[in-house]
Amino acid sequence: MATPFYGHPGCDGPLMRSFIIVRKDSALRSLEDLRGTTAAINSPDSNSGSNLFRAAVAPLAQGGRFFGRIIETGSHGGSIAAVAEGLADSAAVDCITYANIGRFDAVDLKRVRVLAETPQGPGLPFITSGDAPEERVQLLRNALHAATKEPLLAEMRAALGLVDISVLSEADYEPLLSLAGDTLPQLRA
């Protein structure tokens, strides 16, 4: 329906990226240093927590392998906690979640640092029913656009980091579908 623009570091219009994090006191200094280590992912089908992570390390993989071990945490917050607690050496967290956790629940973020950034891709869109009539979709888009301009909603937008919206085409999301497929090695040990 529409893709939000966020005003957080790492966001660029409707595009976003993930931050690859390590413990603040970690000796790891480059993506290459992550070879053979333990990576935390929120879910294998996550774009920001897995696919963009794969895209970042794929050029370094050998025989489809890069990490020594992968653990699934179920959420970006869980991945941050796993790195902060030493259960994992690295994780990828989308820039929007990273900013919001930093603003509202920064305990674990204080114990990690950004090692690298992933390639960027379109952010998660606002969606509606796939069989919604075009008139309803347009009405919803108009309402979202109005909400990004309404002065009375400025405080709400600031709390969300929401700046604007854009209507992207399916073709704009095609690179993410390629990442989710078999074009990159899996994050496997």
Domain of 46, in residue numbers: 18-119
Place 65 in a pLDDT band, splitting at 50, 70 and 90.
Answer: confident
Q: Which amino acid is at 182?
A: D
Residues 170-175 have a mean pLDDT of: 86
Same structural domain for residues 89 and 27? Answer: yes
Co-location of 141 and 167 in the same domain: yes
Does residue 56 lie within any of the structural domains?
Answer: yes
In terms of domains, do 92 and 109 share one? yes
Q: Does residue 26 belong to any structural domain of this protein? A: yes
**Whether residue 62 sits in one domain with residue 101:** yes
Contact 188, 70 (CB under 8 A): yes
Q: Is residue 42 part of a domain?
A: yes
User: Average pLDDT for residues 53-64, to the nearest whole number?
Assistant: 88
* CA-wise closest residue to 97 among 187, 5, 8: 8
Under 8 Å between Cβ of 32 and 132: no
Question: Residues 10, 59: one domain?
Answer: no
**146-170: b (≥16 Cβ within 10 Å) or e:** eeeeeeeeeeebeeebbebbbebee
Residues 26 and 109 in one domain: yes
- CATH number, domain containing residue 86: 3.40.190.10
In a domain, 23, yes or no: yes
Instruction: For residues 109 and 149, state if they share a domain.
Output: no
**Domain tally, the chain:** 2
pTM of the model: 0.89
pLDDT of residue 108: 87
Exposed e or buried b per residue across 70-99, where buried means at least 16 C-beta atoms within 10 angstroms of its C-beta: bebbeebbbbbbbbbeeebbbbbbbbbbbb
Same domain, 108 and 131: no
Residue 188 inside a domain? The answer is no
For residues 52 and 74, membership in a common domain is answered with yes
Q: Is residue 154 part of a domain?
A: yes
Of residues 153 and 104, more confidence is placed in 153
pLDDT for the residue 174? 83
59 and 108 inside one domain = yes
Would the pLDDT of 188 be above 60?
Answer: no
**Residue 138 domain-assigned (yes or no):** yes
